[in-house]
Amino acid sequence: MDERLLVKRAKRGDTAAFAELYGTIYKRLYQFALYTLGNTQDAEDVVSDTIVAAFESIGKLRDVYRFRQWLFKILSNQCKKRRKSYAERNRRHNLDFPGEEQKDVFSGVSDGRDMEKEATDREWIRQAFETLSEEERYIVNSFLFGGYRGDEIAQSLGIGSGT
């Protein structure tokens, strides 16, 4: 069924339509969250929080054509909250246990096929993501997992598409 029609039905309270929308986008939401947070459990949690928030406020969505952007914006905000909690937890942890090594949040990303290659890839990805700002991570994730074009991402951030 056409996504716009499903969104219209969901806005009117049709839970089956919302569930169908969720089924079409869950994998991309999860991938976005996983690459943003680097932890499978946290990714699942923020996707769940995102879906609950979206379900509760879908009636406020103004433009049915922007459903995916709206949903990814909610997800991005949920990921930012979770990353802030990481920073706070690490800060408290460092105060409680000075000198102790920090846990690598990317250590849980694995499918178990080639452990050495995966470890190298994980380290490279972790280092690459550490160099990115929050906005840059949002851009990369929106492009790779949200399926958005550059002009759509720029519009959602309120910046010029050439930027």
Task: Give the Cβ contact number of residue 155 at 10 Å.
Answer: 15
Q: From residue 43, how far is each of 3, 51, 62 by CA, in Å?
A: 24, 12, 27
pLDDT score, position 67: 92
DSSP-based three-state secondary structure for 100: coil
Q: Which of 66, 81, 23 is nearest to 153 (CA)?
A: 66
Task: Give the Cβ contact number of residue 67 at 10 Å.
Answer: 21
Q: What is the pLDDT of residues 78-99, one digit of tens each?
A: 988 888 877 676 665 555 544 4
Does this model's pTM top 0.85? no
Q: No. of H helices and E strands in the chain?
A: 7, 0
pLDDT score, position 144: 74
10-residue block means of pLDDT along the chain (163 residues)?
90 94 92 87 94 93 90 90 74 52 49 59 73 80 76 80 74
Task: Give the Cβ contact number of residue 103 at 10 Å.
Answer: 13
